[in-house]
Structure 1
Amino acid sequence: MCGIVGYVGHRQALEVVLGGLHRLEYRGYDSAGVALLGGGGAQRVARKAGRIANLEAVLDADGRATFGGTVGIGHTRWATHGPPADRNSHPHVDESGQVAVVHNGIIENFAELRGELEAAGVELTSDTDSETVAHLVARAYASGETAGDLDASVREVCRRLRGAFTLVITHSDVPDRIVAARRSSPLVVGVGDGEHFVASDVAAFIEHTRRAVELGQDQVVVITRDGYEVTDFTGEPASARPFTVDWDLSAAEKGGHDYFMLKEIEEQPDALANTLRGHFAAGRITLDEQRITEQDLRDIDKVFVVACGSAYHSGLVAKYAIEHWCRLPVEVELASEFRYRDPVLDRDTLVVAVSQSGETADTLEAVRHARGQKARVLAVCNTNGAQIPRESDAVLYTHAGPEIGVASTKAFLAQIAANYLVGLALAQERGTKYPDEVAREFAELANTPSAVQKALTTTDQVRDLARRIADAKAVLFLGRHVGYPVALEGALKLKELAYMHAEGFAAGELKHGPIALIEDGLPVVIVMPSPKGRAMLHSKLVSNISEIQARGARTIVIAEEGDDVVRPYADELIEVPAVTTLLQPLVSTVPLQVLAAEIARSRGYDIDKPRNLAKSVTVE
């Protein structure tokens, strides 16, 4: 999940690489580093533990002018092998300093390779799996069948590696090129005029070009100033898919906000509208890249949703909708557990794999397991051309735009909407909803961007509340029906951002244990169902609130406008627009996002870069 960028062209590479790293820092911020090739082929390396600002301080102290050159690579790290420290920062170099390597992923057989190198007298200076690659490439380049051929040397080394990896490599003997390779880890090429880029995310080069190339599995790309060439790991020519990035630099900038997350919370109405746009035409739901036939959808007799983190919570919401609309059994699985419990899958099973990045390692492995069992796989993804969509039978892109804040906001709401589209498509093909019913459900879904815009008007009230409870030791979240996944998501946001103990519970479970946690002054957030759509559940939740209030809890109630029944039981009442029951998560989630962000800010934490986390989890 590290951030990688490489540049060959006519500009000073250092500033291009640093600019790319700043836009990729959400992928990891344990350390950062650069390697630059000067005109004479000399390679300069600088690296430092901590944020990119620490690296820039080193560069300033050494004199940036000494890092001249038009070829460079950079890295921002999320630690896997070895703690965050200068010695474990990338780029890693071989003993001569001629080869420089940056790496994303995990090399599973690194211990074996490290032992081989140490037996040959090589002294490794880091704790990482990545450093072994620098030494292996240097040895392949120095002797044997690939001697003097950097491209072939990299391919030879790649064939020896096990695991998931992106590698970007330079050699001072060939200062006009960068060689990069990928296996189950993201890598894209940026195509400019007289310049080319490689990166783990198009955000790294979007300032310079929106033309990109999507690399396939087990491919190597060589970029020079004049072009690029793609081969497989054996050296055979390989094809790669060109595409155009459909957003620009302004979408990846903060736009006057202190944090990306705050900007992305406000972008949610547009993200929802973009997710829904174009998916209802001629009275029918249409999906995106669909390699599943209408008959396939009619034959589906069971649905699994597999995902991690916030995406998993979106799947829990989807379960209510799909079962209600389609009368199909739906299981929602943590992707990390899915393949290890031997789920029952066959050709009539639909597996919906939800991942913002499309590169989440556990979800990718779940997709591969499902495909191996002949199940149909549909990906819900926000990233064009990512690995999970490529390996699925169909994909529904959310088009939410770049999400830089590590804690998911607009991508989460977009995933809920996309999951609803999948449910409506199934209902349409299976005939469990008449065409006019499908049209009505979509019309209500299409109105939610304006409802979310209205929910954002609660922001000031929620921020004031957050500052007043920022010193609490813990916060509990309660919900029923679709409010239960919302409670789980609210608790996750608070854990991620404010490092507080936070738990989400189904409110009906309160008396089965969690009520023991209630003490005087404890903030408890309750996500209320509509008194109109779910009257029985509403009355039961009012009883729950009364019980915890009697034990001294501070009740924070999220309820739809006009819900006067719950008002006397709310120490703090946050009103959101009234929508249909299944769509309520799209509005009730918004104040919980703001609450977590403002509590974190009040406690002095970086909202965009919570400790120990990175945006995309590309290793298991």
Structure 2
Amino acid sequence: MCGIFGYVGKDRDVAGLVLDGLKRLEYRGYDSWGVAVVTDEGINLTKQVGKIGDAQVNMPDSFLGFGHTRWATHGGVTDYNAHPHLDCTGRIAVIHNGIIENFSELRNKLLSQGHKLRSETDTEVVAHLLEEETKGLGSDPAGFADALRRVFMQLEGMNAVMALDSSSGVMVAAKNGSPLVLGYGEDGYYISSDASALLPHTRKVAFIADGQMLLITREGVSARDIQTGDPASLEVSQLEWSLEQAELGDYPHYLIKEIHEQPSILRSIAMTQGENATTLAEMMRASYGTFFIGCGTAANAALTGQYLFSRIARFHVNFAVGSEFGYLEHFLTPQSLVIALSQSGETIDVIEPLIKAKKEKGVQVAALVNVLGSTLYRMADFSVLLGAGPEKCVLATKSYTAKLAVLLMTAYALDGRLDEGKELVLRAADGVEELLRDGIRDKVEALAERIYDREHIFLIGRGLSYSSALEAALKIKEVTYIHAEGFAGGELKHGVIALIEQGTPCIVFAPSDETQAAILSGAQELKARGGFIIGISPKCSDVFDYWIPVADVGDASPIVNAVPAQLLAYCLSIKRGTDPDKPRNLAKSVTVK
């Protein structure tokens, strides 16, 4: 979940370059940050607790350096626990993304050998293990790379590790699970946790595979297999994202920018994803058991897909939260198809059970993913790139509606009506665009003004709108810290209605489908107990105390209905003074368990 950025190349202000890279990666973790560069005197290091903000660094020019922005796992948020970490001699600096599961055992061994460890982190053991492996080594770059290879094989868990050696003037990296991307620039080599941070410097990249390590010098890059030490190849790709897509432009925050990008993304999907939807539908038709998995927002999209395939194509799909899928794999067979949804393609709670399912059960895997070259993209038998562009806000918005659009088109393709699915996505794009005009935005802002100080918000939906209620609740709680819960409308009298008090905001999703009468009846019951009823619906109802009108787009209603909740979450965040792009305790990509 942490952010890593490094550079090897020409003499320059490497510290400033690295810090700028970390600012672009800060959505991966913002508990603390640090930068290290190699100089004639050794390793020059600075690190600090808290968000980077407008921080500057004043460090000597260098040709080699890296930095890290942290999401804390082992150890509290302190200066000592911030990365990079040094060995006892100060020769070696290390940064890390992941969890070293056997770090206590390794730490105790190092302490018994006389090492002085200053932090509570699992990462610091790597620096001291490297110190042990490089005793008497001298300034041999290949020897330092081999030392990291031996150290990395001692680590249990899924990790990405980078190390600087001030003696030989090289950077080495190794990975198993956590992402690393190498960038080929005209002035040197860049390495990052996320390809989007490389856009100001290059679009020529190589996604480092699990079990690979790199030795990076001013003269070039070499890759090796970690287990065997044999040379390994790097597959070079060209990024299609533009730098403008990753920048704020005229918007105050990434959240509102990415909300506004949705109409154009939906139209692009309708125009370009027909072939992928058809292929995915054919894979589903040929399978014996199809499973949708995802985590967080991706799980809500997968749950929506279960309803879409039932109502559109009369096709049964099994749904599971990614972190629970490993406990439901017993009945998988080589004829099973698992379709995994993930924005980053690096979500550990999706990747880990998929690795097991492929290895032990021989299942076929398809992926809906937004990042070219990500772990999920590379491990899947068939991958659909969402084409939503870089999503920098921690909250998922445009990647969610992009997944819904691809699933909708695939369901129609499975039923032989792909053109209808395309047309429906285009109608949804128009409906989203209408919501983003000033009139509706004003209504949402006025609603936020009325409810921003409430302790609880409850949301209900039925059928397709059940997952909409779950996703809306997730958006609100993520960024406002208000307790928000989504429920199936039919569950009210099974316990939920006991939570309603006078004035409790209750958001009701009431599309013009077979669920409308029942959901409005439930809304009336909430109102009778004092609930303040907020309707998201194509039509106003007498039961609504506040109405946010949305377009009537039939089976595409979850796409359109997602947007008022996204806007409300943003407006509530602004009103409550929270950071809409970097909510507390969260990171964009969950790469550790």
Fold match by TM threshold 0.5: yes
Q: Does 1:579 find its partner at 2:553?
A: yes
Structure 2 distance, partners of 1:273, 1:367, is 31
Letter in 2 for 1:218: G
**Any residues of structure 2 matched to 1:134-213 within 5 Å, and which?**
134-143=127-136, 149-175=143-169, 177-213=170-206
Structure 2 alignment gaps of length 5 or more: none
Alpha-carbon deviation of 1:193? 1.0
Preserved contact between residue 30 and residue 77 of structure 1 (Cα < 8 Å): yes
After TM superposition, the structure 1 = structure 2 runs for residues 553-564 of structure 1, keeping only pairs within 5 Å, are 553-560=531-538, 563-564=539-540
* 2:544 partner amino acid: A
The equivalent of 1:413 in structure 2 is 401
User: CA offset at residue 250 of structure 1?
Assistant: 1.4
Deviation at 1:91, TM superposition (A): 0.2
Q: CA deviation at 1:256?
A: 1.7
Alpha-carbon RMSD across the aligned residues, in angstroms, is 1.9
Q: Distance in 2 between matches of 1:455 and 1:332?
A: 30
Deviation string for 1:438-495 (max 9, x for gaps)?
3222322243222211122222210121122101111000111111101011111111
1:569 corresponds to 2:543: yes
Match of 1:514 in 2: 496
Q: What corresponds to 1:90 in structure 2?
A: 83
- Of residues 571, 574, 577, the one that matches 1:601 is 574
Deviations 1:264-286 (A, max 9, x none): 110111222333442236xx944
Q: Deviations over 1:71-128 (max 9, x none)?
A: 1100000011111111100000001111001100011111111111111111111111
Distance 1:275 1:160 in 2: 45
**Percent identity between the two aligned chains:** 39
SS at match of 1:592: helix
Is the Cα contact below 8 Å between 1:140 and 1:146 reproduced in 2?
Answer: no
TM-superposition CA deviations, 1:223-271 (whole Å, max 9, x none)? 2334311111132111121111111221111112221111011011122
Supply the distance in 1 between the matched residues of 2:290 and 2:102 (Cα, whole angstroms).
Answer: 36
Structure 1 residue 297, shift from structure 2 partner:
4.0
Q: Is the 8 A contact 2:212 2:223 kept in 1?
A: yes
Q: For residues 156 and 315 of structure 2, what CA distance do their matches in structure 1 show? A: 39
In structure 2, distance between residues paired with 1:335 and 1:260: 27
User: 1 CA distance for matches of 2:465 and 2:409?
Assistant: 20
- Counterpart Cα distance in 2 of 1:181 and 1:444: 45
Equivalent in the alignment of 1:100: 93
CA apart distance, 1:143: 4.2
| AA in 2 matched with 1:559 | S
Corresponding residue of 2:48: 48
Does the aligned pair in 1 maintain the 2:408–2:421 contact within 8 Å?
no
Q: Which residue of 2 aligns with 1:22?
A: 23
Change in CA separation of 1:113 and 1:347 when aligned onto 2, cut-off 3 Å:
same
What amino acid maps onto 1:94 in structure 2? D
Which amino acid counterpart does residue 325 of structure 1 have in structure 2? Answer: I
* In 2: Cα distance, 1:278 partner to 1:332 partner: 27
* Distance in 2 between residues matched to 1:350 and 1:306, nearest whole Å: 11
Deviation at 1:583, TM superposition (A): 0.6
- C-alpha distance in structure 1 between counterparts of 2:318 and 2:27, whole Å: 31
Task: Describe the shift of the 1:124–1:168 C-alpha distance in structure 2 as closer, same or farther (beyond 3 A).
Answer: same
* 1:393 and 2:394 are equivalent in the alignment: no
Partner-residue secondary structure (3-state), 2:327: helix
The C-alpha deviation readout for 1:334-370, integer Å capped at 9, x for no partner, is 1111112444211222111111000000100121132
Q: Where in structure 1 are there 5+ consecutive unaligned residues? A: 428-432
Q: Greater shift after overlay, 307-316 or 266-275?
A: 266-275
* Alignment-mate amino acid for residue 510 of structure 1: L
Number of the residue aligned with 1:552: 530
Q: Please tell me whether the aligned partners of residues 322 and 330 of structure 1 are also in contact (alpha carbons under 8 angstroms).
A: yes
Query: 1:93-132, aligned counterparts within 5 Å?
Result: 93-132=86-125
The CA deviation at 1:135 is 0.8
CA distance in 1, matches of 2:19, 2:462: 47
Deviations 1:189-222 (A, max 9, x none): 0001131101101122211111111111111112
Residue 476 of structure 1 contacts residue 525 of structure 1 at CA under 8 Å; is this kept in 2?
A: yes
Query: Which residue, 338, 342, 357 being the options, matches 1:351?
Result: 338
| Local SS of the residue matching 2:164 | strand
Partner of residue 479, structure 1: 461
Partner of 2:420: 440
Structure 2 counterpart of 1:615: 588
Q: Is the 8 A contact 2:42 2:90 kept in 1?
A: no
Is 1:323 the counterpart of 2:310? The answer is yes
Which deviates more from structure 2 when the two are superposed, residues 474-483 or residues 415-424?
415-424
**Partner letter of residue 72 of structure 2?**
A
Distance 2:534 2:426 in 1: 29
Q: Measured at CA, do residues 200 and 382 of structure 1 come closer, stay the same or move farther in structure 2, by a change above 3 Å?
A: same
- SS of the aligned residue for 2:591 comes to coil
Paired residue secondary structure (2:158) = strand
| Aligned counterparts of 2:271 and 2:233: Cα–Cα separation in 1 | 31
Is 1:195–1:224's contact at 8 Å kept on the other side of the alignment?
Answer: no
Query: 1:228 corresponds to which letter in structure 2?
Result: V
Kept after mapping to 2: 8 A contact 1:264/1:410: yes
Matches of 2:584 and 2:467, distance apart in 1? 24
Match of 1:265 in 2: 259
Residues 464/102 of structure 1: CA separation in 2 closer, same or farther (3 Å cut): same
Greater CA drift, 388-397 or 269-278: 269-278
Q: CA deviation at 1:41?
A: 5.3
TM-score (norm 2): 0.95
Counterpart pick for 2:452 among 465, 470, 473: 470
Residue 527 (str. 1) matches residue 522 (str. 2): no
Amino acid at match of 2:26: E
Match of 1:280 in 2: 274
CA offset at residue 53 of structure 1? 3.7
CA distance in 2, matches of 1:588, 1:601: 21
Read off the aligned partner of 1:349 and give its amino acid letter: S
Secondary structure of the 1:574 match is strand
SS of equivalent to 2:580: coil
1:430 maps to what in 2? none
Distance 1:146 1:159 in 2: 22
Which residue identity is paired with 1:588? N
User: For 2:577 and 2:348, how far apart are their aligned partners in 1?
Assistant: 31
- Give the direction of change, closer, same or farther, for the CA distance of 1:298–1:340 in structure 2 (3 Å limit): closer
Residue pair 1:141, 1:147 contacting (<8 A) in 2 also: no
For the 8 Å contact 1:301–1:328, the answer to whether it is kept is no
Matched residue SS, 1:70: strand
CA contact (8 A) 1:101 1:170 kept: yes
Check conservation: 1:4, 1:74, Cα contact below 8 A.
yes
Amino acid at match of 1:595: L
Deviations 1:586-606 (A, max 9, x none): 101100011111112111111
Structure 1 length as normaliser, TM-score? Answer: 0.91
Instruction: From 471, 479, 499, give the equivalent of 1:497.
Output: 479
Alignment partners' CA distance in 2, 1:226 and 1:495 = 49
- Whether 2:288 is the aligned partner of 1:306: answer no
Number of equivalences: 587
Aligned to 2:67: 74
| Matching of residue 37 in structure 1 with residue 38 in structure 2 | yes
Equivalent pair of 1:147/1:153 in contact (CA under 8 Å): no
Aligned 8 A contact 1:301 1:329 in 2: no
CA contact (8 A) 2:291 2:337 kept: yes
Deviation for aligned residue 1:571: 0.8
